[in-house]
Amino acid sequence: MTDPVLPLADTGGDRIVGPKVALVLGAGGARGLAHIGVLEVLGERGYHVSALVGSSMGALVGGIFAAGHLHEYREWSLALDRGSVIRLVDFVFGHPGLIKGERVIGALRELVGEHLIEELPIPYTAVATDLGSQRQVWLSRGKLFDAIRASIAIPMLLTPHRIHGRDLVDGGLLAPCRWRPPARPLPTWSWRST
């Protein structure tokens, strides 16, 4: 179900009335939840999000928005209590990180559904950090929740997420707020020095 309150990008045929904006949503853990309010206010004021780039929590909120399920995510987040949060934590020992993160990603995938980034109605890019090369990785193709999981993997807390043989972690390490979006669509892997 597409969120009725928040207008999406032009997905074909219909003329969008009102200004378009491309957004960069930065890192910030719980503070990143403020992105929800920003997106809601922009929608209420008639703005249409035409592209999103997100790092860490910005990648999570931006990806869910791009998939059209921000309202459901907001309601789900507000309903969480301490017990619910604890049940979402999957501790792991002997790995680089305390929490695997599969339970929370599984819950979000169940809430939002599985999506391919390249099929989202809004162009979306998640920023992650490659542990091996210590460079940014821009994820603009593939499974949405793989990109989100990589971008939110806070080192020593969440285990790195492996994509195409690379261990990826929180995009906020090198790009808390990615302010230079790609000038053209990028391939799945774009290596940039910062």
Helix (H, G, I), strand (E, B) or coil at 74: helix
Let me know if 170 is a catalytic residue. yes
Tokens for 113?
């559904």
According to DSSP, residue 163 is labeled: E
Helices (H), 89-161: 102-112, 144-151
Rounded to whole angstroms, the maximal C-alpha distance in the chain is 54
163 vs 4, 132, 147, 167, CA distance in Å?
A: 33, 12, 9, 7
Measuring CA to CA, which residue among 71, 51, 98 is closest to residue 5? 71
Measuring CA to CA, which residue among 14, 45, 35 is closest to residue 121? 14
Measuring CA to CA, which residue among 171, 186, 179 is closest to residue 57? 171
Tokens for 125?
């890019």
Catalytic residue among 3, 130, 146, 170: 170
Let me know if 77 is a catalytic residue. no
Tokens for 179?
């302010």
Catalytic residue among 55, 56, 140, 151: 56
Helix (H, G, I), strand (E, B) or coil at 63: helix
| Residues acting as catalytic residues | 56, 170
